[in-house]
Structures are given as C-alpha cells and as structure tokens.
Amino acid sequence: MVEQEGFRRYVAHIILWIGIAIVAFPVYIAIVASTQDNALIANGQMSLLPGGHFFEVYYQTIFVGTSGSTREPVANMMLNSLIMALLIAVGKIAISIISAYAIVYFRFPFRMAIFWIIFITLMLPVEVRIYPTYKIVADLHMLDSYAGLALPLIASATATLLFRQFFMTVPDELLEASRIDGAGPLRFFWDTLLPLSRTNMAALFVILFILGWNQYLWPLLITTRDDMQTIQVGIRKMITTTDALTEWPIVMATAVLAMLPPVFVVLAMQKLFVRGLVETEK
C-alpha cells in the first residue's frame, strides 16, 4: 500500500475510527445495559457508563432466566444452540465432502444429473421449503429434538460446491501416485484428500457454525418445549411480555452471551480460516 503523508493519513484514520464506532456502539450499549438496574432503563434514564449489577444480572440470566413468562435459564438455551450449531456444521461438512468426492472422482451413471440436482437445491433454502420440511420432520416424530433441529439444515449445496471446486484443483497425479502406491479410493480420501482439505474444512466450519448458531425461523417452528429453546428464539420471547415490564438487563445479558460463541470460534480458528480462504496447500 502507498504510504500517505500527514493530513491525508489522519483523515483516513478518522474515517476508520468513525466506522468502528458505528459498528461497536450497539455492542457497547448492550454490555452497559446488561449491568444496570431494570427500573432505570424502563424510566429511560439509562446511563452510558456501566452499572453495578453485573454479577447478579449475569447470575440470574445464566442460571435462572427471566422472572416473567419464560423461566428458562440461558445456560440451557446456549447448550441447545451449541448442540444444534455443532451438529449442523459438522454434519454439513461430513455430508458435503463425501458427496463432492463422489462427484469429482467417480464415473457413475447420471453423475452430472446428480450434480445439477444438488446445484439446484441452492435455490431452495429452508424458508422456501418450510412447510414440506416441517411435515416430514413432524411425521418422523422429530419435533422438539436435536435431530429435528439439525437434520433439515445439514444437506448443503454450497459446501458440496466448495469442496468440488477444491478437489478439482488437486492435481490428478496425486491420485495416480496413490494408485501406484497401492492406496484404494478410501485410503486416498482418508490419507491424502482429507489432510489437504483441512484449511477448507476449518473455513467452512466457522461459516457454518455461525449460520447454525443464528438460525431463528426453523427452531421457532419446531420447538415447543421451553427446555428445547435455542438462544435466538429465547431472546425474542423475553422481549415480548404481555403483563410485565421487559427485563432489559437480562435481555441484554442474553444478547451478549449469544455473541460469545461465534466470537470465540472466529478467534480460535482465525488463522486456519484465513489460510483456507487465501491459499491452498498443494
């Protein structure tokens, strides 16, 4: 990048700082609000400085829940969300890497037809096929279960396409060398293709975990029991109260807690994630 002198550089920095402030301010407000007294917030007298109720608010949020309609501890909601997000991320990667392997490396009848069928499902996200999907899940008695939460979101055209593109860049000679070295299709997949896909898998995991974690519509539809609620649905339920004040500090604390796992996943896998996007080890 060209090094810029004096004034212009300050302008650039100021613009960047404004950008950061715009993005960060709501997060700051959420954190601050989660440490204050509900009565103050309800009166519209919320301070922009952190209050003194941090421990009691977070204790109540995590282990007890709101005192109103849904008395579900957020720890349980987080566990549900975590299980669902992990199932979706791991399941999607496992299914799509296998289907991509089949499409790229095997010559079977209707190979291209199958590829296009997978491709077309890109145009049918859950929102579009929500009624039939609900019907199937209900008929299979998977309402209010982790399988019901995760399975319909696992089959994934995007991840299959990504792995297909990656496999097509792997030189054919590697497969041929493996064949001469006495490695069959499974060994080649396990010993060569999987290790080479590591960075791609990490990048996908980050994206898919966040996608799974942020699911709202599907869990809202198929979970009826409070103890199967995910955190995204839980936040929404906390806000709408019919006969009492919304307990804003608890809502905000829940929002802050909901942000943490994705942040943690991104931080933990950042290095692999960036490598997966920019370079391939060949």
Partner 1 sequence: MANVTLRNVRKTYTGGFEAIKGVNVEVGDGQFCVLVGPSGCGKSTLLRMVAGLETITSGEIDIGGRIVNQVEPADRDIAMVFQNYALYPHMSVFNNMAYGLRNRGMKEAEVKSRVEEAARVLELAPMLERKPRQLSGGQRQRVAMGRAIVRQPKVFLFDEPLSNLDAKLRIAMRVEIRKLQRRLNTTSIYVTHDQLEAMTLADVLVVMNGGQVEQVGNPLAIYEKPATTFVASFIGAPPMNLMSARADEIKSQLGNAGDAGILGIRPEDFVITDQTPSGGVALPLAVEAIERVGAETFVYGSRAQDAQRVAATPGELPPGDIIVRIPGTEAPAIGARIRVAAVRSKLHLFSGDGRKRIEV
171 binds partner 1 (CB under 8 A): yes
Residues in the interface with partner 1 (CB under 8 A) total 18
- Number of other residues whose CB lies within 10 A of the CB of residue 111: 13
Among 233, 238, 237, 239, residue whose Cα is nearest residue 216: 233
Cα separation of 231 and 224, whole Å?
A: 14
109 binds partner 1 (CB under 8 A): no
| Token pair recorded at residue 30 | 């959420």
Contact assessment for residue 123 and residue 157, using Cβ atoms and an 8 Å cutoff: no
281 binds partner 1 (CB under 8 A): yes
Q: Using CB under 8 A, which of the segments 1-9, 39-47, 166-174, 212-220 binds partner 1?
A: 166-174
Q: Please state the closest distance from residue 275 (CB atom) to partner 1, in A.
A: 13
The Cα-based distances of 158 to 37, 53, 154, 161 in angstroms read 45, 44, 11, 5
Question: Measured from the CB atom, is 175 or 220 closer to partner 1?
Answer: 175
The distance of Cα 193 from the centroid of its chain, to the nearest Å, equals 25
275 binds partner 1 (CB under 8 A): no
Question: Measured from the CB atom, is 187 or 275 closer to partner 1?
Answer: 187
272 binds partner 1 (CB under 8 A): no
The residue whose two tokens read 């054919």 is 172
**Residues 21, 25, 27, 31: what is their CA dihedral angle, to the nearest 10 degrees?**
130
- The interface with partner 1 within residues 180-209 (CB under 8 A) comprises 180-183, 187, 191-192, 195-196, 198
Question: Measured from the CB atom, is 181 or 227 closer to partner 1?
Answer: 181
127 binds partner 1 (CB under 8 A): no
Contact assessment for residue 273 and residue 206, using Cβ atoms and an 8 Å cutoff: yes
Q: Using CB under 8 A, which of the segments 27-35, 171-179, 212-220, 259-267 binds partner 1?
A: 171-179
Residues engaged in binding partner 1 (CB under 8 A) = 171, 173-174, 176-177, 179-183, 187, 191-192, 195-196, 198, 281-282
